[in-house]
Structure 1
Amino acid sequence: MPPRATDRRRAAVLGSPIAHSLSPVLHRAAYTELGLAHWTYDRFDVDEAALPGFFEGLGPEWAGLSLTMPLKRAVIPLLDSISETAASVDAVNTVVFGEDGRKTGDNTDIPGIVAALREHGIEKVETAAILGAGATASSALAALARVCTGEVAVYVRSAARAAEIRGWAERLDVNVRVANWLDAEEALHAPLVVATTPAGATDAIAATVPETPTTLFDVLYDPWPTALAARWSVRGGVVIGGLDLLVHQAVLQVEKMTSRAVTVQRVRAVAGEIFDRK
């Protein structure tokens, strides 16, 4: 029997490590705004080996899951279906449980990037650059497939990463030029730069930010600002941070799990309060 509207409903974020995740705070803030007092959202440290067992233990009160590394691909065999968006990059960060028990995977990182860009007035760009070639870079490339009308230059450290990016580009039908990481400073002249690298990776090129930079989307949110984002801002460029992405993808997850719309402003305000206290 499907749960009633007033029955307890559960959701959570899974990953390993997971203690740092802000998802519980953001989702709970959304539940408060929506008046969903019977909804709870937790975090669980779950690795790839433990994931099947975790799924087996879920009851009918579960509405959805958020997934972070290393589970975004490992979860796919456990699902009944995945969306076209998730399939385009073989990565699921959202699972929604239907009333019939079906488990559907989706990806809110990609539309979250697009939404964050649009919020800053960026609908279309002629060219763009991506720094890095990991899992987040594939989502960024998928997002740029919707935003960039021309070439996307991707700066990578290894031949293996270069091959992966070329594969994603072909799959996503994006015009990609793969470039060497040693030339990464040239990326900073693109109309839109998306930095998908770990903390500290772009520090060395921060000093080379041009006199009149355009838009930087740095997906990190802690530590913040990165050296690159700080220099970009000082130079007068537009900076979009990882907190913007985190908020937008969380709002989309809440809407998919609860079938209720929540305002971005409320969730962002809660996230901002957390960082103001740091």
Structure 2
Amino acid sequence: MAAETPQHPTHVPLAGVIGMPIAHSRSPLLHGHWLKTYGIAGHYVPMAIMPEHLAEVLRILPRAGFVGLNVTIPHKEAVLTLADVVTDRAALIGAANTLIFRADGKIHADNTDGYGFIANLRQHAPDWQPDDGPAAVIGAGGAARAVVASLLDSGVRELRITNRTRMRAEQIKAEFGARVVVYEWAQAGNMLQGAATVVNATSLGMTGKQPLRVPLDALEPGALVNDLVYAPLETPFLAEAKARGCRTVDGLGMLLHQAAPGFERWFGQRPAIDDDTRAAVLG
């Protein structure tokens, strides 16, 4: 892997996040905190990039001293077609969130969302076991695909999924195989019966979005419940799950953990994910 590490000895290394819009991103706070904590001479900048300019931007930025990028909506799929090297997990998920501009001029695309998701669960629920029972995932978008891939890879034997548009859930089943069971959106509450791990992988419940209206009566006390939404930090979904005796993990840790591999590749330091990191990102 050493050959893929970017080396621009005459430049202060630059990294950033591209998307449209981008003003809401917490990534500059996160990477800025790590750069300051470790005394690294580098910068991390948010960039609003229109889709029609994406290919040109990816050609130009390495020449300006950039060693890599985080990628968010709407570019996570498009960068796969522009990268020279795509990791197996990025290809499986169908999206990339981390780019490395290599010293040999090649663009290396990876997806660390699934890694961040599992690392967050393991940090905040260290006794969690993937094979404790079925997992239930609400949603079938890009984030859900990363969650599904990582749960199956971790050893979950049955993965239940539901989505407002059933076809997207069926597509995930077609790609990920027999362990995936699709539930109708109207039956989402039933999907939680006996589930040991429950994940909201939609934006429902986020500040400014519609609430998540899945009934939680069938939630098992002791189940591990995670929401990828982290604004608010404790969503109504998590608050109700906690009131029903479930263990809950908020979504902020996934953001922090998915960022660590990229930071390490760009700046040469594996960052710690601790209370100071959380506080810095929460502002």
Same fold, TM exceeding 0.5? yes
C-alpha offsets along residues 98-137 of structure 1, whole Å, 9 cap, x if unaligned? 1222110011101111111221222422310100111111
SS at match of 1:17: coil
| Distance in structure 2 (CA, Å) of the matches to 1:79 and 1:169 | 24
Residues 145, 74 of structure 1: alpha-carbon distance in 2 compared, 3 angstrom cutoff:
same
2:114 maps to 110
Number of the residue aligned with 2:253 = 244
1:264 paired with 2:267, answer no
**Stretches of structure 2 lacking an aligned partner (at least 5 in a row):** 1-5
**8 Å contact 1:165–1:178 — kept in the other structure?**
no
What's the CA shift for 1:87?
A: 1.2
Give, in whole Å, the separation in 1 of the partners of 2:156 and 2:277. Answer: 35
CA contact under 8 A between 1:217 and 1:241: conserved in structure 2?
yes
Gaps of 5+ in 1: none
The residue that corresponds to 2:197 in the other structure is: 192
Note closer, same or farther for the CA distance 1:75–1:210 as it changes in structure 2 (3 Å cut). Answer: closer
Distance in 1 (CA, whole Å) between partners of 2:253 and 2:151 is: 16
**Residue of structure 1 in register with 2:160 after alignment:** 153
How many Å separate the matches in 2 of 1:34 and 1:198?
33
Percent sequence identity over aligned pairs: 30
Which residue, 61, 70, 73 being the options, matches 1:66? Answer: 70
- Per the alignment, residue 89 of structure 2 pairs with 85
Equivalences for residues 111-260 of structure 1 within 5 A: 111-119=115-123, 120-121=125-126, 122-125=128-131, 126-170=133-177, 175-189=179-193, 190-200=195-205, 203-205=212-214, 208=217, 210=219, 212-260=221-269
57, 60, 64: which is aligned to 1:57? 60
Give the TM-score taking structure 1 as reference length.
0.89
| DSSP 3-state at the match of 2:266 | helix
| Secondary structure in structure 2 of the residue aligned to 1:96 | strand
Aligned twin of 2:48: 45
Tell me the TM-score normalized by structure 2. Answer: 0.88
The residue identity in structure 2 corresponding to 1:197 is T
How far did residue 44 of structure 1 move? Answer: 0.7
1:5-55, Cα deviation, whole Å (9 max, x unpaired): x7311000001111100000101111122220x200010111321211212
Number of positions where the alignment pairs a residue of Structure 1 with one of Structure 2: 269
Q: What whole-Å deviation, never above 9, does each CA across 1:203-247 have from its counterpart, x for those lacking one?
A: 323553647241111100113322111111223321111101001
Q: In the alignment, residue 251 of structure 1 is paired with which amino acid? A: A
